[in-house]
Amino acid sequence: MITLYHFPISQHSRRVVSLLEEAGIEYDAQFVDLMKGEHFSPDFLKINPNHQVPSLVDGELRLHESNAILRYICDKYELNNWYPKDLILRAQTEQWLDWIQCRMSPAVVNIVFNTMFAGDNADQKAIENGQQTMVELEAILEAELADKDYLIGNAPTIADLALASNVFHLGFAKQDLQGANVQAWYGKISQLEGFKKSLPEM
């Protein structure tokens, strides 16, 4: 059985939990309390020297980075509906995973961390930069979702789970994406049982 080290407030943890729960894959969930600094403990640093969650352990494998974990789970359990084998569909899935990680996630982190967790050290300029970036990114998403239900077409993929984890995370800072197409897409993703089970207790 695979073991997942996670923290529900982490958007990167939630996307992996969403997939595992939605696919009905049995796993050993190990809670790592970032608020108490458990990710810096000697025991956890042996698992992930980057002191981040999520981390997956499967036998001799120690795997970090949420999108790499998503890909591994899909390949191991042949979840071809979530990670298509078709060359074009897979390339599109990869594109969105990279876009989410490289463009959207930094903006979300700037907004949420500095609004909710930085306290007196909050960087207002980082919040403003994140918000400006999100205006551009939301317009891209709104156009992309104008004629399809999900990022890659008519069925959700791991790219949708990665995106949804960031959209939910913005809610911590009381930031919402207002576009009608994005809202319709998020409404469908948020009804997935796996997504619901990934959410932190508030």
Q: Which tokens belong to 70?
A: 């998503």
Q: What is the pLDDT of residues 50-102, one digit of tens each?
A: 899 999 999 999 999 999 999 999 999 999 999 999 999 999 999 999 999 99
Q: Do 11 and 168 form a contact (C-beta atoms < 8 A)?
A: yes
* CA distances (Å), origin 8, targets 36, 57, 88, 151: 14, 18, 33, 24
Give the whole-angstrom CA distance, residue 114 versus residue 16. 24
CB contact set of 154 (below 8 Å; sequence gap of 6+): 148
Residue 164 pLDDT class (50, 70, 90 cuts)? very high
Q: What is the pLDDT of residues 6-43, one digit of tens each?
A: 999 999 999 999 999 999 999 999 999 988 888 989 98
Find how far residue 25's CA is from the centre of its chain: 18
202 pLDDT above the threshold of 80: no
Q: Kind and range of the H or E element at 12?
A: helix 11-23
Q: What is the pLDDT of residue 177?
A: 92
Strand partners, 30: 5
Q: Do 5 and 48 form a contact (C-beta atoms < 8 A)?
A: yes
Give the whole-angstrom CA distance, residue 29 versus residue 56. 10
CA angle 22, 39, 134 (to 5 degrees): 60
Query: What are the structural domains of the chain?
Result: 2-76 (3.40.30.10), 87-192 (1.20.1050.10)
